[in-house]
């Protein structure tokens, strides 16, 4: 009996050691976040073991775990009709909300889910529930895109999927089928989905042949650049769940089918050092000492290496491609982009990507709403239901939908 108690106590101590990570006191529901992070880390370690044994690619294994525990069939309610279909060969899930009697045509949001270009799905319950709530509260048609993921495809195929599906939806006959107002359409996405949404908005803005233009873009803690992994938010949140800096850099490398051998060098900005000529013209567009307010920069210092590893951008030139990193686009590309909403979270390595993009857009004459949450963490907006219900998740979703309701 005594031995059993000692064993149980030891196991409990080990579990607590695995779960506990130091978190700022201002983050929402810290113990719940620790448990969520520990669950995700556990799934990552299982997938890494599967990869090591040669049974499957670690990202395929990890996404299998994520989707297996959360996949939801297209289930319609009395208020929202949900259907799975294809738009120009790309799978989509369409949510048709209730119509307002006084409005024969509905507004619409094309939504792109997050997951590091490699994980999640439009069909898991987190995104299914988000889009269902949006469709019902906005009386709108929501198109959630099931784009292809790494490692089955790599950059720029994810962008191509999102562009193809959206262009198909914007055809007059398709808009008529779903009774959508062509003048009231928004492109939106979170995290890597926010990256793809921003890339699409820039591409559509430059397409003179596109008849129906987007009214809005709404970007939720978007990932927007891969030049500087030492912005104040990257330095402040280097180990903050659920997206530590090391994990974000690996997602970038995976997206470009690059080598993990470069990860440590990229973390210290060796890929954009002063001797990397390809990055010279782009650094000014990412000068966070001028783009970020003093409240954000605090005492953090830029990390600019005099000499680095030019081989990185030679082998992964996509790092400097504005389609992958919308934050570094030419100023001319940013002009005339639609009215923009950007949601950022304090405890997120990507916080400064969003703030800097808002600043660059404003400088280009774009109307921007920057919605910052001091207790938010990366991914929080989809965590609104038990057992992963966070106070900040409920508040961010409410704020996002309210902005769409007012502006769309």
- The sign of the torsion formed by the CA atoms of 296, 300, 304, 309 equals negative
Give 78's DSSP letter.
Answer: S
DSSP lists the bridge partners of residue 146 as 91
Spatial contact of 220 and 250, defined as CB atoms under 8 Å apart = no
Pairing of strands 81-87, 90-96: antiparallel
In 3D, which of 33, 113, 59 has the Cα closest to residue 247? 59
- Positive or negative CA dihedral for 205, 157, 129, 220? negative
Q: HSE-up of 62 (CA within 13 Å, CB side)?
A: 23
What are 303's two structure tokens?
């990390």
Report the alpha-carbon distance of residue 162 to residue 157 in Å, rounded. Answer: 9
- Torsion, Cα 43 224 344 370, to 10 degrees, reads -160
> From the centroid of its chain, how far is CA 316?
21
CB atoms within 10 A of CB 199: 27
Distance separating the N- and C-terminal Cα atoms of the chain: 65
What is the set of active-site residues? 191, 348, 378
């Amino acid at each position: 009996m005594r031995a059993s108690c000692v064993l149980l106590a030891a196991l409990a101590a080990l579990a607590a050691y695995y779960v506990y990570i130091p978190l700022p006191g201002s983050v929402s529901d810290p113990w719940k976040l620790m448990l969520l992070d520990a669950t995700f880390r556990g799934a990552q370690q299982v997938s890494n073991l599967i990869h090591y044994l040669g049974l499957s690619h670690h990202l395929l294994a990890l996404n299998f775990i994520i989707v297996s525990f959360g996949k939801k069939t297209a289930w319609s309610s009395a208020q929202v009709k949900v259907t799975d279909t294809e738009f120009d060969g790309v799978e989509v899930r369409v949510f048709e909300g209730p119509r307002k009697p006084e409005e024969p045509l509905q507004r619409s949001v094309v939504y792109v889910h997050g997951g590091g270009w490699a994980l999640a799905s439009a069909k898991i319950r987190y995104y299914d529930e988000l889009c269902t709530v949006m469709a019902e509260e906005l009386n709108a048609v929501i198109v959630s895109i099931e784009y292809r993921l790494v490692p089955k495809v790599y950059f720029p195929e994810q962008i191509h999927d999102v562009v193809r599906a959206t262009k198909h939806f914007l055809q007059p006959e398709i808009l008529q089928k779903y009774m959508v107002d062509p003048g009231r359409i928004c492109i939106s996405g979170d995290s890597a989905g926010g990256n793809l949404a921003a890339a699409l908005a820039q591409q559509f803005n430059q397409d003179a042949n596109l008849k129906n233009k987007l009214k809005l873009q709404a970007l939720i803690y978007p990932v927007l650049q891969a030049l500087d992994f030492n912005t104040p938010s990257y330095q402040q949140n280097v180990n903050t769940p659920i997206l530590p800096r090391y994990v974000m850099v690996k997602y970038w490398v995976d997206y470009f089918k690059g080598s993990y051998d470069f990860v440590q060098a990229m973390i210290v900005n060796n890929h954009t050092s002063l001797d990397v000529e390809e990055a010279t013209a782009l650094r000014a567009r990412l000068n966070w000492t001028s783009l970020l307010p003093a409240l954000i920069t605090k005492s953090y210092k830029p990390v600019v290496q005099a000499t680095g590893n030019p081989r990185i951008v030679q082998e992964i030139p996509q790092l400097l491609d504005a389609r992958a990193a919308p934050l570094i686009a030419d100023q001319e590309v940013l002009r005339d982009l639609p009215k923009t909403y950007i949601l950022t979270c304090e405890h997120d390595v990507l916080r400064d990507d969003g703030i800097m993009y808002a600043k660059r857009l404003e400088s280009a004459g774009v109307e921007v709403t920057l919605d910052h949450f001091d207790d938010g963490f990366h991914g929080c907006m989809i965590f609104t239901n038990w057992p992963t219900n966070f106070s900040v998740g409920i508040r961010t979703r409410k704020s996002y939908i309210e902005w769409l309701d007012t502006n769309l």
